[in-house]
Amino acid sequence: MQAIVRPTYRSWCAWQRNRDVYLKQWKTNGLAFFFEPVLLYIIMGLGMGKVIQDIEGMSYREFIGPGLVAGYVMQIAVMENGWGTYFRMAVRRTFDAMIVTPVSIEDVITGEILWGATRGALTGFVVLLIIAIAGDVNSPMALLVIPAAFLTGLVFAGASVIYTSQAPSSDFIGPFFSIIIYPMFFIAGVFFPIGELPRALEVFAWCLPLTWSVDIMRHLMEGEVNVTMLWGTIGLIALSTFFYAVSLVLMRRRLIR
């Protein structure tokens, strides 16, 4: 077809399709997504909170809350655009049904990534709400956590679509979690300050997009603004744009033959 087919407003139809299906299933599995982060927040707060009274001037719960928001935004987006995208693409052949209409494959993929980011933002919102109810949010700036969650979602949704575009089978999706996503979750400063890590590992941690996101979330909930956050935001925007562009190319290569 044309060398570059630009996505259009029809991406929105693809997003709406996923929303409609999600809302239909919402009673059965739609609410489970925030159970894990909230559980971690409560249990770790109760246990570790006793041991650690003060961590960078915060209680332990105040410290991990924003980290869990970022970490689970990542995980939900990766799930949605890992197994979810694979399922729609290869099992149900939903994409095949869509691209014989005026919707192009670029529209479909754009809708997929926006949907993954939306799921991420929704997770961010719900977890933030619970943290706020628990009294661990110290600034109205925390509202900016929601757009930050959407941006974080975009980065990982794009990365996940890229990974999924190369998947020969659904078994291929699991390792993305065990090799990339979970290690990132443990090293990105969710549970402890990365400054405590050996120097080399600390530098490595700062190269990870989740670290930027955790840092942004934490400062927003504390009501502080600093220059690292700005760099983090620029980094997330740049990375999400890059991943998005690559995902379009790879998905077209896979599906338009």
Partner 1 sequence: MSPVIHAERLVKRYGGFTAVDGVDFAVEPQECFGILGPNGAGKSSTIRMISCVSPVTSGRLLVEGRDVMLEARAIKATLGVVPQEDNLDEEISVIKNLQVYARYFDIPSAEALRRATEALALMELTEKRRAAIDTLSGGMKRRLLIARAMLNKPRIIILDEPTTGLDPHARHLVWQRLRQLRGQGATMVLTTHYMDEAANLCDRIAVMDQGRILDTGTPQQLIERHAGKEVVEVRVAPWEKEHGMTALNGKARRTVDAGDALLLVGAEGPGLEASLAGGKAEVLRRRPNLEDVFLLITGRGLK
> Per rule CB under 8 A, is residue 123 in the interface with partner 1?
no
Q: Which is nearer to partner 1, 97 or 201 (CB)?
A: 97
Query: Smaller CB distance to partner 1: residue 193 or 253?
Result: 253
Q: Does 253 bind partner 1 (CB under 8 A)?
A: no
- Interaction of residue 27 with partner 1, rule CB under 8 A: no
H helix count then E strand count, the chain = 12, 0
Binding of partner 1 by 143 (CB under 8 A): no
User: Residue written as tokens 């919707």?
Assistant: 103
Reduced to 3 states (helix: H, G, I; strand: E, B; else coil), residue 58 is: strand
Nearer to partner 1, 16 or 139 (CB): 16
Establish if 224 lies at the interface with partner 1 (CB under 8 A). no
* Footprint (CB under 8 A) of partner 1, residues 61-120: 92-94, 96-104
Distance CA 223, CA 204 (A): 27
9: tokens are 């407003």
Residue with tokens 């997330």: 236
Smaller CB separation from partner 1, 103 or 159:
103
Vertex 157, ends 156 and 162: CA angle to 5°? 95
Nearest approach, Cβ of 114 to partner 1 (angstroms)?
A: 15
**Which of residues 95 and 125 has its CB atom nearest to partner 1 in the complex?**
95
Note whether 10 binds partner 1 by CB under 8 A. Answer: yes
Q: Give φ, ψ of 55 to 5 degrees.
A: -135, 110
Half-sphere exposure of 36 (CA within 13 A, CB side): 11
Distance CA 14, CA 110 (A): 8
**1 or 32, CB closer to partner 1?**
1
For 51, the enclosing helix (H) or strand (E) is helix 35-51
Query: Cα–Cα–Cα angle for 13, 18, 24, nearest 5°?
Result: 125
Q: Find the part of the chain contacting partner 1 (CB under 8 A) among 21-29, 50-58, 132-140, 237-245.
A: 21-29
Q: Which is nearer to partner 1, 6 or 228 (CB)?
A: 6
Backbone dihedral region for residue 201 (phi beyond 0: left; psi -120 to 50: alpha; all else: beta): alpha
Closest CB 254 distance from partner 1, rounded Å? 13
Stretch that binds partner 1, among 15-23, 57-65, 166-174, 226-234 (CB under 8 A): 15-23
Interaction site with partner 1 (CB under 8 A): 1-2, 5, 10, 13, 16-17, 20-21, 24-25, 92-94, 96-104, 256-257
